[in-house]
């Protein structure tokens, strides 16, 4: 015979506790009649709420008896037979003994932790894991006065089975009156999300969070506290306006978390909503542990040596890569300067890192091809145009070189990265002060000048008759009359100038001579000076055989031509372009000898 227990039917009330008083009008719930459970140790109902509530405990009032009661909840209603082994069910109260010794006693069993429900409809299952049958009838248990605002729902049932191995119990009256205790959320602020750092942006050093209002009142202020690896940081005071029951803020900057190493925890929590105690502190905190992965450590700038190629390697073997040129290898070969980027995704953590870097071509050392300097000034100085380590051919290691002697000098420069080496050469000319000097040789009215100056780069001649020349060794023909002329030579270079003067006397009698012979009346040569054709005008007194002989100033015959029998006035010509520049003597001869001569200048 199955022993009979004085068990009540289960019925449920939602008891609203707010501001220290019972406020039944704030209770927003729908509880249908309890249903049979056909072989299950428990009963179920649907709970509906249109505001955020916090369930805290189960209570019961029994005539007598003891039962280990547990409570389960599902995010959906329990249409049909409940099955707490199905996915989605959560145990919110582990088995708790519920005992009453006399009629009207109330026993309360608190949940493992308060359970928060957002607005919606939920399935609730309350039962026992013991071999105790649960049956119903229409008796109503008397509740204490403190629960008189509760809602008692009773259903009658027969032969509904049991959950153990005992025989089917006989039909007997059993009754259990109970309910769930909850309170609506008032002021409740929480951290909805840590926006950064977070996967995939795991390496971000700026802490940004989003605040959520889980309470029933508009949230206008809250404190946000945070810690890095257990070390609490400065409190951030937030002010704004968030709507009740789920209103979220924009991104809120909290602080710099660059000190957060891989594997360390970042913790953020909210408190003091609207300046009051948080009603539901269990939902206030969010945590982030910086994952362990390889850092993408690429410098912001690379130097590409002139005429070479370089390889940029991330060293992240366990990451997917995407370079700016579309390649996906762990390295990138670079041949030209420009802007580049790489994105890596750690295979195990999903953390994404991005690096932008600039590649610039090496600026090689570039010296002038040649430089000049003066001895009086201590020479000259040559300076390099790039940063780096210098090595000159003289052994100097400065970025500049003082040069005091004429010659060729080279330099080799290693850039600051130590990877690029360039070189160049300069030729330096060091000048002494110029010294003027010259000689002159007079031939009739023509003077041939020879430069004997030193250290000059430029020369100027003033011939004393208003003419000048910049030739090194000029030949000057003075007017056809006797005179004395002062000749000045000026030589100069970058360091200064020097001058010297000399006097020369020329005589026209030496220019054109027909002697005292009666064979010739006149002799003219034109143009003179000449560079191409030369005309010779003769005026002979009688017919004779005539020849022309041209000699240089050393007496060497450079040209001879027989004119044949000539009488009276005649003009002959020849090409002087075959002669070198200089002063020549043109002789007119017959069988007896010279009958006249004339000076010829060839330019």
pLDDT of 454? 95
Task: Based on the fold, state whether residues 254 and 315 are members of the same structural domain.
Answer: no
Task: Based on the fold, state whether residues 41 and 178 are members of the same structural domain.
Answer: yes
Q: Is residue 294 part of a domain?
A: no
3-state helix, strand and coil shares in percent for the chain, rounded to the nearest 5: 5, 50, 45
> Which pair of tokens denotes residue 452?
């004997």
Q: Is residue 3 part of a domain?
A: no
> In the block, which residue shows the tokens 């009658």?
156
Of 35-44, 376-385, 578-587, the one with minimum mean pLDDT is 35-44
pLDDT of 273? 94
Confidence of residue 92 (pLDDT cuts 50, 70, 90): confident
pLDDT of 143? 36
Q: Helix (H, G, I), strand (E, B), or coil: what is residue 510? A: helix
Confidence of residue 275 (pLDDT cuts 50, 70, 90): very high
Of 76-80, 161-165, 287-291, the one with minimum mean pLDDT is 161-165
Of 124-138, 221-235, 246-260, 394-408, the one with minimum mean pLDDT is 124-138
Task: Based on the fold, state whether residues 409 and 444 are members of the same structural domain.
Answer: no
Give 182 or 196, the one with higher predicted confidence.
Answer: 196
Contact 381, 399 (CB under 8 A): no
Task: Based on the fold, state whether residues 425 and 442 are members of the same structural domain.
Answer: no
Confidence of residue 415 (pLDDT cuts 50, 70, 90): very high
* Domain endpoint, select from 506, 537, 564: 506
Burial class (CB in 10 A: 0-12, 13-18, 19+), 593: exposed
Confidence of residue 40 (pLDDT cuts 50, 70, 90): very low
> In the block, which residue shows the tokens 């010297």?
500
Per-residue pLDDT reduced to its tens digit, 472-493: 999 888 876 788 999 999 999 9
Q: Is residue 6 part of a domain?
A: no
Residues 6+ apart with CB under 8 A from 44: 34, 35, 37, 78, 82, 123, 124, 125, 126
Q: Is residue 159 part of a domain?
A: yes
pLDDT of 306? 87
State the Cα–Cα distance between residues 524 and 445, nearest whole angstrom: 15
Task: Based on the fold, state whether residues 99 and 127 are members of the same structural domain.
Answer: yes
Task: Based on the fold, state whether residues 279 and 422 are members of the same structural domain.
Answer: no
Give 107 or 431, the one with higher predicted confidence.
Answer: 431
Structural domain for 332, as ranges: 301-361
* Domain endpoint, select from 184, 200, 215: 184
Angle at 121 between CA 118 and CA 124, to 5 degrees: 100
Task: Based on the fold, state whether residues 176 and 195 are members of the same structural domain.
Answer: no
Task: Based on the fold, state whether residues 39 and 160 are members of the same structural domain.
Answer: yes
Per-residue pLDDT reduced to its tens digit, 332-391: 999 999 999 999 999 999 999 999 999 999 899 999 999 999 999 999 999 999 999 999
Per-residue pLDDT reduced to its tens digit, 584-599: 888 888 888 878 788 8
Confidence of residue 39 (pLDDT cuts 50, 70, 90): very low
Q: Is residue 340 part of a domain?
A: yes
Contact 280, 188 (CB under 8 A): yes
The CATH number assigned to the domain holding 550 equals 2.60.40.1930
Contact 45, 168 (CB under 8 A): no
Contact 45, 32 (CB under 8 A): yes
Q: Is residue 584 part of a domain?
A: yes
Looking at the DSSP bridge assignments, the partners of residue 467 are: none
Over range 284-311, report the average pLDDT: 90
- pLDDT exceeds 80 at position 400: yes
**How many domains are there within the chain?**
6
State the Cα–Cα distance between residues 470 and 461, nearest whole angstrom: 6
Q: Share the mean pLDDT of the chain.
A: 77
Task: Based on the fold, state whether residues 395 and 308 are members of the same structural domain.
Answer: no
pLDDT of 81? 52
- pLDDT exceeds 50 at position 418: yes
282: phi then psi, degrees, rounded to nearest 5: -70, -15
Q: Is residue 357 part of a domain?
A: yes
Q: State the SS3 of 407-445.
A: EEEEEEEECCCCCCEEEEEEEEEEECCCECCEEEEEECC
Task: Based on the fold, state whether residues 280 and 308 are members of the same structural domain.
Answer: no
pLDDT of 44? 64
The CATH number assigned to the domain holding 501 equals 2.60.40.10
Q: How many CA atoms lie within 13 A of 339 on its CB side?
A: 1
Of 14-18, 49-53, 473-477, the one with minimum mean pLDDT is 14-18
* Domain endpoint, select from 161, 184, 207: 184
- pLDDT exceeds 90 at position 124: no
Q: How many CA atoms lie within 13 A of 478 on its CB side?
A: 28
> In the block, which residue shows the tokens 């009086």?
376
pLDDT of 219? 93
Task: Based on the fold, state whether residues 18 and 72 are members of the same structural domain.
Answer: yes
Task: Based on the fold, state whether residues 491 and 597 are members of the same structural domain.
Answer: no
Q: Is residue 8 part of a domain?
A: no
Predicted structure pTM score: 0.45
Q: For a pLDDT cut of 70, what percent of the chain falls above it?
A: 73
């Amino acid at each position: 015979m199955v022993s009979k227990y004085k068990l009540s039917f289960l019925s449920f009330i939602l008891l609203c506790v707010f501001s220290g008083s019972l406020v039944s009008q704030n209770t927003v719930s729908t509880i249908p009649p309890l249903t049979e459970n056909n072989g299950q140790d428990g009963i179920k109902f649907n709970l509906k709420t249109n505001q955020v509530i916090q369930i805290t405990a189960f209570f019961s009032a029994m005539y007598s008896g003891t039962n280990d009661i547990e409570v389960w909840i599902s995010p959906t209603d329990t249409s049909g037979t409940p099955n707490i082994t199905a996915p989605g069910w959560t145990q919110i109260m582990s088995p708790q003994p519920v005992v009453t010794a006399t009629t009207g006693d109330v026993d309360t069993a608190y949940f493992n932790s308060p359970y928060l429900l957002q607005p919606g409809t939920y399935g609730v299952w309350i039962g026992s894991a013991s071999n105790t049958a649960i049956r119903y009838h229409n008796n109503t248990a008397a509740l204490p006065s403190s629960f008189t605002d509760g809602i008692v729902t009773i259903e009658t049932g027969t032969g509904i089975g049991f959950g153990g191995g005992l025989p089917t119990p006989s039909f007997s009256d059993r009754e259990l009156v109970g309910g769930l205790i909850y309170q609506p959320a008032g002021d409740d602020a929480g951290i909805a999300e840590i926006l950064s750092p977070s996967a995939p942006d795991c390496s971000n050093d700026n802490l940004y969070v989003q605040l959520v209002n889980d309470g029933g009142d508009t949230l206008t202020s809250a404190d946000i506290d945070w810690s890095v690896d257990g070390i609490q940081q400065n409190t951030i005071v937030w002010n704004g306006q968030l709507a009740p029951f789920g209103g979220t803020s924009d991104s809120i900057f909290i602080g710099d978390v660059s000190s957060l190493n891989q594997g360390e925890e970042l913790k953020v929590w909210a408190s003091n909503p609207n300046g009051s105690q948080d009603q539901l502190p269990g939902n206030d905190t969010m945590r982030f542990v910086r994952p362990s992965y390889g850092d993408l450590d690429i410098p912001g700038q690379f130097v590409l040596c002139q005429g070479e190629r370089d390889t940029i390697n991330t060293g992240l073997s366990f990451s997917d890569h995407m370079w700016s040129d579309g390649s996906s290898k762990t390295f990138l070969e670079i041949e030209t300067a420009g802007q580049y980027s790489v994105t890596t995704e750690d295979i195990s953590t999903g953390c994404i890192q991005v690096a932008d870097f600039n590649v610039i071509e090496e600026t090689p050392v570039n010296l002038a091809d040649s430089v000049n300097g003066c001895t009086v000034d201590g020479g000259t100085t040559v300076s390099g145009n790039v940063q780096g380590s210098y090595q000159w051919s003289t052994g100097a290691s400065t970025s500049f070189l003082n040069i005091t002697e004429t010659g060729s000098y080279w330099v080799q420069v290693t850039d600051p990265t130590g990877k690029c080496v360039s070189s160049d050469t300069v030729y330096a000319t060091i000048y002494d002060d110029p010294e003027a000097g010259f000689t002159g040789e007079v031939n009739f009215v023509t003077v041939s000048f020879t430069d004997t100056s030193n250290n000059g780069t430029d020369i100027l001649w003033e011939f004393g008759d208003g003419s000048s020349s910049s030739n090194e060794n000029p030949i000057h023909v003075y007017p056809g009359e006797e005179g004395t002329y002062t000749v000045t030579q000026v030589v100069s270079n970058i360091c200064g100038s020097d001058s010297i003067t000399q006097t020369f006397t020329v005589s026209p009698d030496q220019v054109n001579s027909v002697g005292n012979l009666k064979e010739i009346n006149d002799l003219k040569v034109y143009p003179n000076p000449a560079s191409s054709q030369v005309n010779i005008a003769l005026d002979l007194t009688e017919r004779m055989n005539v020849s022309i002989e041209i000699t240089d100033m050393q007496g060497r015959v450079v040209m001879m031509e027989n004119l044949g029998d000539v009488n009276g006035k005649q003009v002959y010509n020849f090409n002087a372009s075959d002669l070198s520049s200089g002063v020549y003597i043109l002789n007119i001869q017959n069988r007896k000898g010279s009958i006249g001569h004339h000076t010829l200048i060839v330019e």
